[in-house]
Chains A and B, each alone.
Chain A
Amino acid sequence: MTPAAPLFLLDGHPVPFKPGETLIEAATRAGRHIPHLCWHPGFAPHGSCRLCMVAIGERQLAACSTAAEAGLEVRLHGEALAAQRRTLLQLLFVEGNHFCPSCERSGACKLQAEACEAGVEGPHFEQLYPDRPVDASHPDVLLDLNRCILCGLCVRASAQHDGKAVFALGGRGLGTQLVVGSASGRLGDTDLAASDLAARICPVGAILPKRRGFAVPIGQRRYDAAPISALPETDDGMPPP
């Protein structure tokens, strides 16, 4: 007889976990959605988006980088946590040029889907309107840094999955941005291929395949039918190759 798996409580619901798993790994395996942008089951946590913040007692912790422990009482829902998530999403929106009406990732964008789910109706903060040039130098991949949320998924995918290290995060503070690892700084001068995971993993519209815009009819896009929390993790964020 195998011993019962240890459990923690997520908003009162028991979630089984394997030793060494983080809260978000166990919750995702149990079919419970914890909002996130920079976490991906295939990679080590990044801890930059802060969307997965949960409350444990008096403390707030990122579910992506907190180990599950038996008996933990974890709160995800609640007005204060929801308001904080809305604020984080509003900050991400005003920091970039998120003009969804003309973005080819609209309807399949995790940032947009989490914001809709969180009930973000307006920005509340002053727009920064960044002015970073679009890099269209690559024959098959477009890079628009004005939409980049610095989740670092392309950085991790390129280094750890593709073995190429095409991307890195450079700069400091508000000046931090995604940089391209070629002498010219241009994407076209790297060995990135459109089939690389790094070219496909972007959860927003910053890294897009060329010549394949608006291919999915409105109503059939990833998040049209159901909110992001109702979809399995394996079915979101990762555009098909």
Chain B
Amino acid sequence: MSLAGCFGCHMSFLDIDERLFALIERVEFDRSPLTDLKAVGRCDIGLVEGGLCNAENVQVLREFRAHCKTLVAVGACAINGGLPAQRNHLRIDELLRAVYQQRDGLAAGAQVPDDPELPLPLNRVHPIHEVVHIDYSLPGCPPSADAFWQFLTDLMAGRTPQLGHGLMHYD
């Protein structure tokens, strides 16, 4: 699942290429950006990319925690907020006004969107472990396909995932 992510971790996961065929023989995907399921069911493993930037992120994260035996913070954003957390030294109301009201080229009378259908942003971006318990972190921005593969094969074999030099990186 992607929260305040860029979908890059999902793309890096897909970079395992033809190993996806081997994987799909062994696993079944529940709610995911790659499936059409709208609600998360009982799962063994939940992979979460992105930090928490709005109210909907928090709700979705809590649903994943409630339904997944093992929850994994995937990528720099989920782990420490990542580059989106660089907004944490700015005021969110000033940011929204700068983008939706004060930017050059906006139509006259442009306002910050306020429809209740839209989730309100949080004051600050947070890593996911500050809201729910995380079982593992898979670092990288994004983690490499080989890191995903090593991590998932370890987990499926019942081993504690070990990345080691080359697969372990934060950038």
Give A contacts to B, CB under 8 Å. 93-94, 97-103, 106-107, 112, 115-117, 119, 121-124, 126-127, 129, 131, 226-227
Contacts and interface: CB of A to CB of B under 8 A. Distances in A.
Interface string B68-81: 00000100100111
25 contacts: A97-B86, A98-B80, A98-B170, A99-B83, A99-B85, A100-B76, A100-B141, A101-B170, A106-B171, A112-B170, A121-B136, A121-B138, A121-B168, A122-B73, A122-B134, A122-B136, A123-B79, A123-B129, A127-B80, A127-B126, A127-B127, A129-B81, A129-B85, A129-B124, A131-B88
A116 B170 contact: yes
A98 B86 CA distance: 10
Interface in B64-109: 73, 76, 79-83, 85-86, 88-89
Interface of B is mostly: mixed
A122 B81 CA distance: 11
Contacts, number: 73
> Closest 10 interchain pairs by CB?
A122-B137, A101-B141, A100-B170, A131-B89, A121-B137, A106-B171, A100-B171, A129-B88, A227-B165, A116-B168
Contacts of A102: 83, 86
Contact of B129 (A119, A122, A227): A122
Contacts of B170: 98, 100-101, 106, 112, 115-116
A77 to B, nearest CB: 16
A107 B136 contact: no
A117 B163 CA distance: 10
B31 interface: no
A97 B80 CA distance: 9
Interface of B: 73, 76, 79-83, 85-86, 88-89, 124, 126-127, 129-130, 134, 136-139, 141, 163, 165, 168-171
Contacts of B82: 99, 101
Contacts of B79: 121-123
Contacts of B80: 93-94, 98-99, 122-123, 127
A94 B124 CA distance: 15
B169 A116 contact: yes
Contacts of B141: 100-101
A226 B85 contact: no
A127 B73 CA distance: 15
Nearest to A93: B80
Given A94-B80, A99-B82, A127-B85, 20 more contacts: A97-B86, A99-B86, A100-B141, A100-B170, A101-B82, A101-B83, A101-B171, A103-B171, A106-B170, A106-B171, A112-B171, A115-B170, A116-B168, A121-B168, A122-B80, A122-B129, A123-B127, A127-B126, A127-B127, A226-B165
